[in-house]
């Protein structure tokens, strides 16, 4: 009996119902109209409210204002980060392969899984922090690093119109110090030391690659046409963030499913109420309301 109740409450209850997703998320997320419910499955009231709702997207006044804040200085920072990061990725890949021994393959597999899980959790933590706290008005951080998160909620498909630099600049910046330290270790340690710590190096390498790739994977989860077959394969087998899975985050007020690398941790974190507990603790201790700035931008429709 208790097991049945627990399994019903914990496992069978969906995080968001299909109805909730359709009513409270932006249709721009699904430009091919691959909606989960047909409109006849919606009640009269819901259909009427959907038709009346102003569509959020490129014409949203708040989104236009935020897009204009993308500066030349920011672009320069992104270009520098992308080029240095790619150079370090290639260098570290060469070093990792040079020191690889076949007998260490099982360690490498375990390190890879933990590397991916760490990157997924990190993506959730950073995304949650940026979505939930702070304001675009904050000096430096606001316009340069919080702005894209606010823009993404009111114009989700703007990410599909961003080029490689704008999409990946910030994530490549986060991966930079890890890749830098890794290369430093390879050059300053003896062969024996490198072999001893090989699993840790493989973990750090794969973790940083997944951190760097996160916003590209996120962009693919918003792309409804023209994706290469291998990307669709990875999405369909939930090796990277699938499109339907990420829609759950884009249901207003954007309070769950923050992990955007693979999304593997979204369901367990939601079930243990990880984000809402953290928010309650922060609100109690600081008095700041979660998502106050995000809500303010969402209101700037006209």
**Applying CB under 5 A, which part among 15-23, 30-38, 84-92, 123-131 lies near Zn ion?**
123-131
Distance (Å, whole) CA 111 – CA 119: 12
Q: Which residue is nearest to Zn ion (CB)?
A: 131
Site string for Zn ion, 232-271 (x = CB under 5 A): ----------------------x-----------------
Q: Which is nearer to Zn ion, 131 or 170 (CB)?
A: 131
CB neighbours (10 Å) of residue 260?
Answer: 23
Report the residue from 28, 30, 120, 131 that binds Zn ion according to the rule CB under 5 A.
131
Does 30 bind Zn ion (CB under 5 A)? Our answer is no
Q: Which is nearer to Zn ion, 143 or 254 (CB)?
A: 254
Distance (Å, whole) CA 184 – CA 85: 14
- The CB-of-32 to Zn ion minimum distance in angstroms stands at 16
Q: Which of residues 138-197 bind Zn ion (CB under 5 A)?
A: none
**Applying CB under 5 A, which part among 4-12, 37-45, 64-72, 127-135 lies near Zn ion?**
127-135
- The CB-of-25 to Zn ion minimum distance in angstroms stands at 10
Binding-site residue total for Zn ion (CB under 5 A)? 2
- The CB-of-149 to Zn ion minimum distance in angstroms stands at 6
- The CB-of-255 to Zn ion minimum distance in angstroms stands at 9
Does 29 bind Zn ion (CB under 5 A)? Our answer is no
- The CB-of-166 to Zn ion minimum distance in angstroms stands at 15
**Applying CB under 5 A, which part among 55-63, 86-94, 124-132, 261-269 lies near Zn ion?**
124-132
Quote the tokens at residue 246. 């990420």
Hunting for tokens 């990061």 — which residue is that?
Answer: 85
Site string for Zn ion, 45-84 (x = CB under 5 A): ----------------------------------------
Q: Report whether 121 contacts 214 (CB < 8 A).
A: no
Q: Which is nearer to Zn ion, 118 or 132 (CB)?
A: 132
- The CB-of-170 to Zn ion minimum distance in angstroms stands at 14
Q: Between the CA of residue 12 and those of 6, 267, 275, 284, what are the distances in Å? A: 9, 12, 20, 31
Binding site for Zn ion (CB under 5 A): 131, 254
């Amino acid at each position: 009996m208790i097991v049945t109740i627990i399994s019903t409450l914990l496992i069978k209850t969906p995080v968001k119902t299909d109805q909730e997703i359709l009513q409270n998320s932006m249709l721009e997320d699904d430009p091919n109209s691959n909606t989960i419910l047909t409109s006849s499955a919606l009640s009269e009231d819901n259909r009427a409210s959907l038709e009346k709702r102003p569509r959020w997207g490129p014409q949203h006044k708040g989104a236009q204002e935020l897009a204009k804040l993308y500066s030349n200085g920011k672009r320069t920072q992104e270009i520098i980060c992308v080029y240095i990061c790619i150079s370090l990725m290639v260098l570290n890949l060469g070093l990792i392969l040079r020191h690889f021994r076949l007998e260490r393959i099982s360690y490498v597999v375990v390190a890879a899984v933990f590397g991916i899980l760490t990157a997924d959790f990190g993506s959730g933590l950073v995304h949650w922090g940026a979505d939930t706290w702070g304001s675009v008005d904050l000096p430096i951080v606001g316009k340069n690093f919080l702005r894209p998160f606010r823009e993404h909620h009111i114009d989700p498909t703007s990410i599909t119109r961003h080029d490689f630099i704008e999409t990946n600049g910030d994530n490549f910046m986060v991966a930079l110090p890890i890749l830098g330290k890794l290369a430093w270790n390879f050059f300053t340690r003896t062969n024996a030391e490198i072999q001893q710590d090989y699993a840790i190096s493989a973990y750090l390498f794969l973790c940083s690659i997944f951190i760097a790739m996160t916003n590209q994977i996120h962009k693919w989860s918003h792309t409804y046409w023209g994706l290469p077959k291998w990307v669709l394969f990875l999405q369909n087998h939930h090796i990277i963030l699938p499109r339907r899975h990420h829609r759950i985050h884009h249901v207003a007020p954007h309070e769950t499913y923050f992990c955007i690398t693979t999304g593997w941790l979204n369901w367990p974190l939601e079930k243990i109420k990880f984000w809402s507990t953290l928010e309650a603790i922060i609100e109690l201790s600081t008095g700041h309301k979660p998502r106050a700035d995000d809500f303010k931008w969402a209101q700037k429709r006209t």
